[in-house]
Amino acid sequence: MFAHELACSPNVAFFHEDVVREQRFVQEDLAFLGILNNVNMRLVAPLVARVNNDSESLAFYTRHLFKNNLRRVGLSSNRIISVAVVLAALLACVSCSPEPSWLTVQHGRALPASCVRQPVHVTIIGDSLAAGYGASVASKNFAMRLSRYVAARRQGSTLVNLGIPGANTRRIAQQELPRLKNADCALVVVIAGANDVQQYVAPSRFGADYDALLSGIRQRAPRAALVVTNLPDVGLSRIIMPPVKPIISTLAAFDSNAIARAADKYGAWVVDLWTVSRLDARHRVQLLSRDGIHPNDEGYAVMAAAAYPMIDRAMR
């Protein structure tokens, strides 16, 4: 649970007279939203009761509110008060940001020795960053830059891009893993997690989903070299509302730590997009496309350049 990851008090109860939402879903989201952190239940409980009377849980409504960026949502006075409390709690949680443990992941599993000088069969798994949203033309997205880089070093190499725009980690595992083939001299690149952050998926749930994703890859392609990207600081995006920017950044940091743990467990190389995105952050905002969330051509070039050293290590 998020509360444990924040080293905050786990003692909380959420009461419904009429259960209109899944109990587990509500409890996880309440913990994730940080209501447990420095917020006395004597203050929270009445607000929860008010929202329950409106047939909508505090956790569910708050996630819905964030997801729509306060647009097209009718706010009652009770809801405004409730959301203000949640925002305050979440902002308090920012001080619990994790240390960047992914920087300690120094090595992964390379291709077998039998693959030296052999063509490499690259499969990219992931979301819209894998699919290349934001690039002016396909040849300038991450996948095609990576394909050219590998082909220049291993003639005859191939690329399969399974990326699904908008997919979170669980959906990636459900819809892309079944299409992964166990080819000889396979290199699998995973770009996942940004949509989990924007959907406010609890870090504990994300960690489990990401672990399951890498486990599934290892089961289907046990000899493949595996390269994963951690998350850029999604909070730098101009489309993220200022009040939730530190929350989004904190989630991205927690999820990047989860990616590092899974990478270490399954022998994957980690591309550190978090650090890259935060170097000269004002300039990095210029690497985003017009939609304000996906990289533009220059952004994909920076992203690919960060990946090349790990690709080299995976192919050595």
- Residue type for position 226: L
Q: In this structure, are 122 and 270 located in the same domain?
A: yes
**Coil, strand, or helix at residue 74?**
coil
User: Are 224 and 281 in the same domain?
Assistant: yes
Question: Which one of 52, 69, 96 terminates a domain?
Answer: 96
Q: Could you list the residue range(s) of the whole structural domain that residue 227 is in?
A: 105-315
Same-domain check for residues 9 and 75:
yes
**Count of alpha carbons within 13 angstroms of residue 87, beta-carbon side:** 14
Are 204 and 87 part of one and the same domain?
Answer: no
214-234: per-residue pLDDT in tens? 999 999 999 999 999 999 999
Residues 69 and 9 in one domain: yes
- What is the DSSP track for 220-257? H-TT-EEEEE----GGGSTTS-GGGHHHHHHHHHHHHH
Tokens representing residue 111 in the block: 């291709």
Instruction: Reply yes or no on whether the pLDDT at 201 is more than 80.
Output: yes
Query: Average pLDDT for residues 296-308, to the nearest whole number?
Result: 95
Pair (130, 152) in one structural domain: yes
* Segment among 10-24, 103-117, 165-179, 222-236 with least mean pLDDT: 10-24
Same domain, 109 and 6: no
Do 32 and 148 lie in one domain? The reply is no
Q: Which two tokens stand for residue 50?
A: 């008010």
* pTM for the predicted model, two decimal places: 0.72
pLDDT tens sequence across 150-193:
999 999 999 999 999 999 999 999 999 999 999 999 999 999 99
Q: Is there a single domain that holds both residue 137 and residue 206?
A: yes
Residue 67 neighbours by CB under 8 Å, 6+ apart: 198, 199, 200
Are residues 46 and 133 both part of a single domain? Answer: no
In the chain, how many domains are there? 2
Domain termination residue (choose one: 75, 96, 117): 96
